[in-house]
Structure 1
Amino acid sequence: MVVYPKLVPSAYATIRALRDILGCSLPIEIWYRPDEMKDTPGALAPLQRLAQNYSVGDISFHKIFSPVAKRFVAKIYAIYRSFFDRVLFLDADNVPVRDPSFLFESPEFKETGAIFWPDFWHPTSTMFGLHSKSLLWELLDMPFVDMFEQESGQLVIDRQRHAAPLALVVFYALHEPNFLVHYKLAWGDKDLFRLAWLKLNASFHMIEAPPAMAGMVTRLSAFCGMTMSRTYNLKGQEDEIDDVAAFEESIIMPEHPISPFYKRGDGFDSSVSRDRGVMVCMHDGVLSMGLSLIRELRCLGNKELIQVYHCGEEELSASTVELLFSLDDRLEFVDACSDLESQGIISTNMTTKFRSWWIKPLAMYHTDVRHVMLLDVDDIIMRDPAVLRDLEGYVTTGTTFFYDRVLTKKKLLIGNDGGKLYLRKLLHEFDYARFNLLCFFLSKAS
C-alpha cells in the first residue's frame, strides 16, 4: 500500500484488521514519499511501532524518490517496483473482511495471473467519459470494449507473468505529452491496468459481481451509502450468503483481542458477543458500587459482555480483579491508557489526566464493541438497560443520551420531604406509567 500523512490512520486500521482480526500473515510493503512526510514529523511512527509488534508477516517500508511518482502514479510505481513476485495491492483505506491470502490460490489467479474488480460505471452510464464514442479508443489504437470500468482500490497481479502490461501501465501514466490526462480520457490509475491488459491481450479475470454499497439508514428511512463493498465470486469459494445473521456476526464480531491490556478470567465465556456490551469505568475506591451494578445487571437478565475500563494497573488491585473474575464469566478488564500509550497515541504524562471522569470518553473511543452502553458505577437500574437499543430513537440515530437531573429543591436522598424519607417517597410516588414502567413496578411490588 501507499501512504501519506492523512492516510496513515486508514493504513493502521487496515493492517490491524488484517493481522488481529483476520489472522493474515502475508508480508506487507508500505511505500511513501519522504517529501510528503517531512511536514508531518513522526507521521510514520504509528505504523513503524505496529510493524514491531508482529512476529509473523514482515512489514517493510520503502521510500519513493522518483520526481514523477506522485499522486496516483505512486501506486503504479509501488506495484512496478515491488519486491514481491505476486502482489495484492490495497488502497490504504481498503479494509478486507476476510484473510485475502486465498486469492493467490484461486483457480482464476493461477489461470490468468491477474484479478481485477469492476467499478459502478459502465459505458452506457459513466461519469468518466469511457463510452463507445470516446477519443480514448482511437488514441490507444484499440477497439471499444463493452464492459464495466475498473475500480483499482485492490489488484492481484503476478508481476513476473505480466511484466509487459505493467510496463505499459507505467507508459500510460508517465508518457509526455500525456493526452490521457490532458483530454481527461482516463481518471488517474482507475482504468489503466485494465486498458493495458486489454491492449496486449494479456489474461486477467474480472470479478463478475458488480460492487455493492454499504451505509446506513437515516432517520427519514432513506439509505445513505458511504462505502463501496466488493465481493469475489471465485471458483470453489462460497460467496452466496444463506444465513444473513451468521454473515453479519462474522464481520461485526471479531475475536476477543489478544493483548496484555485486556484481562479475562480463566473461566471467561469466549462465546460472548462483542457486538453489544456494557462499559463501566472503575477503580478500587468504587469497587462496592461497581460490584453492585454488575450484580444488578445480571439479576435483571443482562448477559452481555461487561468491559471494566481503568487507567493504569495501579487503579485496580489484584484482589479486585480476582474477586470480579470469580463472580462473572463475561467480564473483562481493559487498561485503555496503557494500551494507547504503548501505541504512541498518548504520552505518559497524558495518562494521569485520564484518571478521573475523563476515562469515560477515552473508553468510548477505545472500545471495539459496536453497540456499547456506558454506565456509571453509581447508576441504579430497575430493568435490563439493553431494551434502550430497541427504542426508535436509538434505532434511527445509533445514539441515546439522557438529560441531567433537574431538582427544584435542594434535598439529599436521605433528607426529609413532607415527613417522608425522600428516596422512599421518590420510589413510591414516581410516575412509572409515564415512562412505561408501571407493569414492571407492580410486578416487583407484588
Structure 2
Amino acid sequence: MHACQLDIEVWHLSDEQPSEEMKMELESLGAKPKDLSDPKLVRPITLRRNAEKQFQIKAAAILNSSFKEVLYLDSDNLPAKDPTFLFDTPEYKSTGALFWPDFWKTHGENKVFDVLGIHCEDEWEQESGQMVIDKEKSWLPLQLAWYMQKHYDVYFQFLNGDKDTFKYAWKALNKPYHMSEVFVGMAGDMLGERFCGHTMLQYFPTPGEEEDDELLFVHANLLKITDKIHFIRDDGQEHPWDLAKHSSMSHSNTWIKPEFYIGPGGRACMDFTHREGEPEAVTENFDDVVPNLQSNYFKYGGIGGETRV
C-alpha cells in the first residue's frame, strides 16, 4: 500500500520563477519548485507558447519528474480526499494509466483520427486536470503525447489544448489505460434562476450504487476566470461553491448532454440539460458533500475568482 504522504514537485516555466518567500513556503510543505527550462532535463521547455494558457507543459512535467509513478494535478485542482489509494487500484495496476472524462466528444470528422490512424468512437474526451501514470509502463505513449504538445502549432488545431493528446497517444500506440466510467459533475452557484457550474467534479466508482461514487477532485477550471465579486457574501467572505451537481445515471453513459452557456454579466457556466429525455441531475449542498474543503481552501490561502478592476 502507498503511504498517505506524497512527495510534491511544482513545475513552472523559466519566466515563472517563484520568489524566495514562495520557495520557502513550498519547501515547508514538502514541495519542490522545478524549472522546466533546465537543460539537463530529459524534455526541457525553453520557449513559452504565444498564448495565455501553456497547455504544452503537462507531458514534459510528468516525463521530467523524479517519480516513477505520478499523480499529476493542475494548479487549480483540489483533492477532495486522500487520492493515494488510486495507486493500488486494480485499474491502475493493470494499465499503468488512470484518466477522467470531460464534458465533450470529439467530432467524427476531426482530422486527428486520420493523422493518428485511430478510430472515432462514441466516448467522452479526456479531462487532463488529473492523471495517475506509471512512467515505466507508459513511457512510449508519454513520449508521443509530449511530441504532440511540443508541436502544438499542428496538433492543437485538432484538439483543445493538451487534453486528448494523452488519450489519443495511448490509443495510437495501442497501450492500455483506464477511463473512469463516472461522468464528470459540476460545482457552482445559482445565477438568477439557473445553475452556473464553474468547477469540475471528478469521481471514482465504488462497489454498489452510483450514489456511493467517491468524489476525488474539485477542479476549478472556470472559477479562475470569474469575477470574485459574484461570490462575496454579506459577511465579506468568499463562497464560490454553493451547490454540487451530478447526473443520476452517470456510469458509462454517453448520451448525457452538458451545456456551456454565457450567463448575465458574461459569466462562463456549465449546466446539465434534459431536453431530450436525458437523466435528471442530482443537486446537493456543496459543503455537505465535501465538509470543510471550502473553508480550508481559503484558510490556507486559496484564490477563488479573479479580481477585476
Equivalent AA in structure 2 for residue 163 of structure 1: W
Q: Which residue of 1 aligns with 2:201?
A: 229
Distance 2:103 2:16 in 1: 31
Deviations 1:214-272 (A, max 9, x none): 11124x3321212111111156995279xx99994462236xxxxxxxxxxxxxxxxxx
Task: Pick closer, same or farther for the CA change 1:114–1:200 going to 2, 3 Å.
Answer: same
Q: Is the 8 A contact 1:107 1:235 kept in 2?
A: no
Counterpart selection for 1:208 from 177, 181, 185: 181
Q: Is the 8 A contact 1:33 1:64 kept in 2?
A: yes
Q: Is the 8 A contact 2:12 2:35 kept in 1?
A: yes
Alpha-carbon deviation of 1:35? 2.1
Q: Does 1:153 align with 2:129?
A: yes
Q: Which residue of 2 aligns with 1:121?
A: 104
Task: Pick closer, same or farther for the CA change 1:87–1:199 going to 2, 3 Å.
Answer: same
Whose strand fraction is larger, Structure 1's or Structure 2's? 2
Q: Which residue of 1 aligns with 2:155?
A: 180
Q: Which residue of 2 aligns with 1:165?
A: 141
Counterpart selection for 2:9 from 29, 34, 38: 29
Alpha-carbon deviation of 1:367? 9.4
Distance 2:27 2:100 in 1: 29
Alpha-carbon deviation of 1:47? 5.0
Distance 2:46 2:81 in 1: 36
Identity of aligned residues (%): 36
Alpha-carbon deviation of 1:48? 2.8
TM-score (norm 2): 0.62
Q: Is the 8 A contact 1:118 1:211 kept in 2?
A: yes
Deviations 1:61-82 (A, max 9, x none): 2111132475222222111111
Distance 2:292 2:299 in 1: 16
Equivalent AA in structure 2 for residue 179 of structure 1: V
Counterpart selection for 1:91 from 74, 78, 89: 74
CA RMSD in angstroms, aligned pairs only:
3.2
Equivalent AA in structure 1 for residue 186 of structure 2: M
Task: Pick closer, same or farther for the CA change 1:64–1:210 going to 2, 3 Å.
Answer: same
Alpha-carbon deviation of 1:169? 0.8
Alpha-carbon deviation of 1:168? 0.9
Q: Is the 8 A contact 1:112 1:205 kept in 2?
A: yes
Counterpart selection for 1:100 from 83, 91, 97: 83
Q: Which residue of 2 aligns with 1:48?
A: 24
Alpha-carbon deviation of 1:142? 2.0
Aligned length: 218
Q: Is the 8 A contact 1:209 1:232 kept in 2?
A: yes
Deviations 1:82-109 (A, max 9, x none): 1100001000000111011111111111
Q: Which residue of 2 aligns with 1:253?
A: 292
Whose helix fraction is larger, Structure 1's or Structure 2's? 1
Whose Rg is larger?
1
Alpha-carbon deviation of 1:175? 4.1
Please list every run of 5 or more consecutive structure 2 residues that lacks an aligned counterpart in the other structure.
Answer: 38-44, 216-282, 302-309
Counterpart selection for 1:112 from 77, 95, 98: 95
Q: Is the 8 A contact 2:26 2:32 kept in 1?
A: no
Equivalent AA in structure 2 for residue 29 of structure 1: E
Distance 1:246 1:221 in 2: 16
Please list every run of 5 or more consecutive structure 1 residues that lacks an aligned counterpart in the other structure.
Answer: 1-22, 123-129, 255-273, 276-364, 369-446
Q: Is the 8 A contact 2:14 2:46 kept in 1?
A: no
Distance 2:108 2:284 in 1: 43
Task: Pick closer, same or farther for the CA change 1:168–1:36 going to 2, 3 Å.
Answer: same
Q: Does 1:63 align with 2:35?
A: yes
Equivalent AA in structure 2 for residue 209 of structure 1: V
Q: Which residue of 2 aligns with 1:140?
A: 116
Q: Is the 8 A contact 1:212 1:228 kept in 2?
A: yes
Q: Secondary structure at the match of 1:209?
A: coil
Q: Is the 8 A contact 1:69 1:77 kept in 2?
A: no
Task: Pick closer, same or farther for the CA change 1:211–1:60 going to 2, 3 Å.
Answer: same
Distance 1:92 1:139 in 2: 31
Task: Pick closer, same or farther for the CA change 1:83–1:201 going to 2, 3 Å.
Answer: same
Distance 2:190 2:162 in 1: 32
Question: Which region of structure 1 is more displaced relative to structure 2, 111-120 or 141-150?
Answer: 141-150
Deviations 1:308-335 (A, max 9, x none): xxxxxxxxxxxxxxxxxxxxxxxxxxxx
Task: Pick closer, same or farther for the CA change 1:222–1:167 going to 2, 3 Å.
Answer: same
Distance 1:137 1:222 in 2: 37
